[in-house]
Structure 1
Amino acid sequence: MKSIVITGAAGGLGRAVAEKFLAEGWLVGAYDLSEPDLPGAVTGVLDVTDAEAWERVLAEFAERSGGRIDVLHNNAGVIIEGPLADASVTGVDGVIAVNVLGVTLGARAAHPYLRKAKGTLVGMASAAAIHGQPGVAVYSATKFYVNGLTEALSLEWRRDGIRVIDINPLWAKTPLAENNAASVRRLGVRITPGQVAERVWQAVHPANAWERGGMHYGVSPLDRFLLMLGGFAPDRLRRLLTGLIAG
């Protein structure tokens, strides 16, 4: 039985991904600050900013999975909104701790298991990493970090046989999208957690060699288009488009 560990799995996107992989017959480890209520999954509490907790949780899960972890989905994430100048130091620190330190510690702790399984590291990035988003600047910047970590580790770990990818949706129907960012008001919240979960499944199971070579995966047609555009458009054009959507 193949296995996946998912953080931030008590609700939202993490829970949807857990339910998808459970339905496909995988052994699922679902973790959050509060233990997820997910029948059929291995569940527990994990503070992703705690390196020792990562080591303990993955070792305990590996005892249940025969020593291997095929996929780590670094899904846990938090957000603060509003102008950066008005943000509290505590709020900024909290977002960076979870969205940057948390995904880094998770990747580090999972490396030996993924190497053994020739597995996949999946980061939860965002369309907010195509161009910096005003009003959610710290959150947006942390998602650039996720993209950068994906690109670096895809090279660093290729000799270990580990595939490293990330998912970049527009706002999805979760509590994270319940904010006043201009992009939420202008584009709406149209993506469901189920759509994201399906995209994670597809990304972990690429249909061909070309798709297997991808790193950054969109979900809806619009965010796939924006992701592609972001890779080719000059800075001025990306800034103009972002200003129209989120400025």
Structure 2
Amino acid sequence: MNNILITGAASGIGAATARLFHGRGWQVGLLDINHSALAELAAELGGVWHAELDVADPAAARLALADFCAMHGGQLRLLFNSAGLLRCGYFEQIEAAEHARIIQVNLLGLLNMTHAAFAYLKVTPGAQVINMGSASGVYGVPHMASYSASKFAVRGLTEALELEWARHGIRVGDLMPPFVATPMLASQHFEAPVLRRLGVKLEARDIAAAVWQQAQVPTLHRPVSLRFKLMYWAGQLAPAWLNRLVMRRLSRD
């Protein structure tokens, strides 16, 4: 029986992924800091396992993984690191503590969960980690500086672990979507120029479908949407100065 543990599961991409995998017969575990929304989703899915968790707390992450995996013979087929924070605005106008919290959740939280999951992943055939990356981890995005920095780091960690954990048979990959219509994006009070120019073309269910594809056919980086796939692969071939020029024009006020 396949099982998946999802962080940031109470809404948006995490919730859409939980619904998709549960509907296709997987055993689903839900983690989020928002207890009430998490409990509602767990009830909707028939009382699936769930726990309130701040992924930035390493001890709590270890306990949550131990609890969930104990129900599945100590195995974990798939960890989906979906929890994340975003704050759009001018870098200097955002409090340093808020920048730090973005890094704590988007990077250190992901690191905490992945480190704690290793013992269960390594004894599970076909084990995978799927990290929630971003197009912002390919190009540094103005007005999203700390978010972009966190996603660059997620990309680097993903690339390193995909190589390092090959000896254990664990696949590690990330998803790279552009902007997605989620509560996280809708809650922003500042509209970054790049967001206004590119628009929001994806919904949470589109990313959930990409998680499903990644679970079936793992790859290191999975750009999401035809438009960004073209931008991503063009960016791999183009000189760095050209990529910077494109981003500068997209980000003009």
Instruction: Report the AA paired with residue 220 of structure 2.
Output: M
TM-score by length of 1: 0.94
Report the aligned-residue RMSD. 1.1
1:149 counterpart residue number: 157
1:22 counterpart residue number: 22
TM-score by length of 2: 0.92
1:11 counterpart residue number: 11
Which of the residues 228, 232, 245 maps onto 1:227? Answer: 232
1:59 aligns with 2:66: yes
2:200 counterpart residue number: 189
Deviation beyond 3 Å, 4+ runs, structure 1: none
Offset, 1:66: 2.1
Unaligned runs of 5+ in 1: 207-211
Unaligned runs of 5+ in 2: none
1:103 aligns with 2:114: no
Which of the residues 197, 201, 204 maps onto 2:212? Answer: 201
| CA distance in 1 between partners of 2:98 and 2:159 (Å) | 27
Instruction: Report the AA paired with residue 97 of structure 1.
Output: Q
More off after superposition, 168-177 vs 227-236:
227-236
Aligned length: 241
Q: Secondary structure at the match of 1:227?
A: helix
2:52 counterpart residue number: 45
Instruction: Report the AA paired with residue 42 of structure 1.
Output: W
Query: For 1:130-170, what per-residue CA distance to the aligned partner results, in whole angstroms no more than 9, with x for missing partners?
Result: 11000011101100011000000011111010000000101
1:246 aligns with 2:251: yes
Instruction: Report the AA paired with residue 56 of structure 1.
Output: L
1:83 aligns with 2:90: yes
1:165 counterpart residue number: 173
The alignment-based identity, stated in percent, is 38
Listed as ranges, the matches of 1:117-128 within 5 Å are 117-118=124-125, 119-128=127-136
Is contact 1:177-1:189 (8 Å) kept?
no
